[in-house]
Amino acid sequence: MNPAVKDIHSVASFRRDPSGMMAKLKKSKRPMALTVKGEVKAVLIDPVVFERMADQLDAISGIRRGLVQAKKRLGRPAGEVFDDLEHDLARG
């Protein structure tokens, strides 16, 4: 298990107090691992944290695509891109 996951609880304890556990998750903003027989079966994360992670993964994916395209020389010169942007902005 990732050392960043410090809140580890059994699914049974989650079933006993789901609202309390969800409040703890919301307050701490840290992932919460749920276990069955000592084995992690699920990880809960706060929705705000999830959205931030999803945005970061999208950005990383875009950077990787750009690097692959650059290696294949599929891009355009930066000056050309900026000229196009200036032209588009001038048109309104």
Residues in CB range of 75: below 8 A, 6 or more apart: 66, 69
* Fold annotation for 7-45: YefM-like fold (3.40.1620)
For the chain, how long is the longest CA-to-CA vector? 64
Taking 60 as the threshold, does the pLDDT of residue 2 lie above it? no
pTM to 2 decimals? 0.62
Tens digits of residue pLDDT in 31-88: 999 999 999 999 999 999 999 999 999 999 999 999 999 899 998 888 999 999 999 9
**Confidence (pLDDT) at 4:** 66
How far from chain centre, in Å, is Cα 17? 27
2-6, 25-29, 32-36, 64-68: range with lowest mean pLDDT: 2-6
Q: Answer for the pair 18, 34: CB distance below 8 angstroms, yes or no.
A: no
CA neighbor of 76 nearest in space, from 65, 66, 91, 90? 66
**Confidence (pLDDT) at 1:** 58
pLDDT band of 6, cuts 50, 70, 90: confident
Q: Answer for the pair 69, 75: CB distance below 8 angstroms, yes or no.
A: yes
